[in-house]
Chain A
Amino acid sequence: DIQMTQSPSSLSASVGDRVNISCRASQDISTFLSWSQQKPGKAPKLLIYSASTLETGVPSRFSGSGSGTHFSFTISSLQPEDIATYFCQQYDTVPLTFGGGTKVETK
């Protein structure tokens, strides 16, 4: 199975700050990587797929980059509604595997 290692597991930032999250795959997954947002008690919401493509309707302050085994996710200017847990997921092969998540909180 492909292991997905995500860091940090949590972070605290102020509104307006730039937020960066990393995700590393245990083997080459090309750009078969997505980033999703999950708020407490809610279903996950896809934000980015193919490592860097923004899902329709997702604000442009969200972005992703990377290929192969190293990926990153950025919120350019944190908004109050962005408080959530973010996770990466590889879809190169089954079993689908997920990063452990990054809980984003406000200072």
Chain B
Amino acid sequence: QEQLVQSGAEVKQPGASVKVSCKASGNSLSASYIHWVRQAPGQGFEWMGRINPNSGGTKYAQKFQGRVTITRDTSISTAYMELSGLRSDDTAVYYCARAPQWLILRVDHWGQGTLVTVSS
């Protein structure tokens, strides 16, 4: 059973950065693409970007270009999403989600979510 376990909730001040981790079970990271999606309170889902853990190759949504960085550490089966220049409207639950390498956009498992609160 695929499982993605994310790091805990964060509270950040405006202008700061946040880095959220996403650990995949077993060796599943190498068989996956990892996507990051966020959901602001009472809002819909917003795709931020994805990484190919095997190559480290990334693709980001235009809205987040220059502010988001997605990386991975294959030795510990973990992907990361770092968002800089935080604003109050970045307050959201951030999810990692995996898709199989053979259909890289079809998300089939989600992490439990990480609440990031941006407040002074």
Contacts and interface: CB of A to CB of B under 8 A. Distances in A.
Contact of B109 (A46, A89, A91, A92): A46
Count class of interface residues, chain B: 20 to 34
A44 interface: yes
A55 to B, nearest CB: 7
Interface in B91-116: 95, 97, 99, 103, 105-113
A44 B62 CA distance: 24
B112 A43 contact: yes
B61 A43 contact: no
B44 A101 contact: yes
B108 A49 contact: yes
Contacts of B23: none
A34 B62 CA distance: 23
A67 B47 CA distance: 22
A18 B52 CA distance: 40
A25 B37 CA distance: 19
Given A43-B112, A94-B50, A98-B45, A34 B59 contact: no
8 contacts: A34-B107, A43-B111, A87-B44, A91-B103, A94-B105, A95-B62, A98-B44, A100-B44
